[in-house]
């Protein structure tokens, strides 16, 4: 029997818990830096309650799929295992095991 597929919803709440912005894989990426800057600006004007587009969020890849930034360094260590969402959504029992920025959505 197939195991249940755990899916992480793409929500603002989950994006605030994501620790991808602290990850060594993204640290040296100018593309990610630019998105972080824009995301911060967007958070400031969030009264409208609108959810950002997945492309604009430099994280939560377990929900949104592989990163659009091509300059990330996936030879560095993924830190998803330290993320609060890792336990909430039992990501250690799913696929892929971290590196969602490279390998796509958690299933
Ligand atoms: S598990 Fe990884 S990709 Fe998903 S929210 Fe946490 S740090 Fe981000
Ligand atoms: S998915 Fe994992 S490897 Fe990719 S940026 Fe987030 S923490 Fe780092």
Which ligand sits nearest to residue 8's alpha carbon? 1
* Mean pLDDT in residue range 26-54: 85
pLDDT value, residue 58: 95
pLDDT value, residue 2: 43
> What is the number of other CB atoms lying within 10 angstroms of the CB of residue 101?
27
Is the separation of the CB atoms in 91 and 6 below 8 Å?
A: yes
Rounded to two decimals, the pTM is: 0.91
The CB of 78 under 6 Å from ligand 2? The reply is: yes
pLDDT at 74 > cutoff 60 = yes
Say which DSSP state 10 is in.
-
The CB of 18 under 6 Å from ligand 1? The reply is: yes
Region of residue 49 (phi > 0: left; psi between -120 and 50: alpha; otherwise: beta) = left
**pLDDT tens digit string along 15-27?**
999 999 999 999 9
């Amino acid at each position: 029997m197939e195991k249940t597929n755990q899916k992480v919803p793409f929500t603002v709440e989950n994006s605030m818990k994501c620790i991808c912005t602290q990850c060594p894989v993204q640290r040296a990426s100018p593309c990610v830096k630019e998105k972080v800057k824009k995301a911060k600006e967007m958070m400031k004007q969030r009264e409208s309650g609108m959810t950002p587009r997945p492309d604009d969020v430099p994280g939560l890849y377990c929900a949104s799929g592989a990163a659009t930034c091509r300059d990330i360094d996936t030879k560095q260590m993924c830190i998803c295992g330290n993320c609060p969402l890792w336990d909430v959504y039992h990501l250690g029992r799913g696929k892929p095991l971290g590196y969602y920025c490279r390998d796509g959505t958690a299933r």
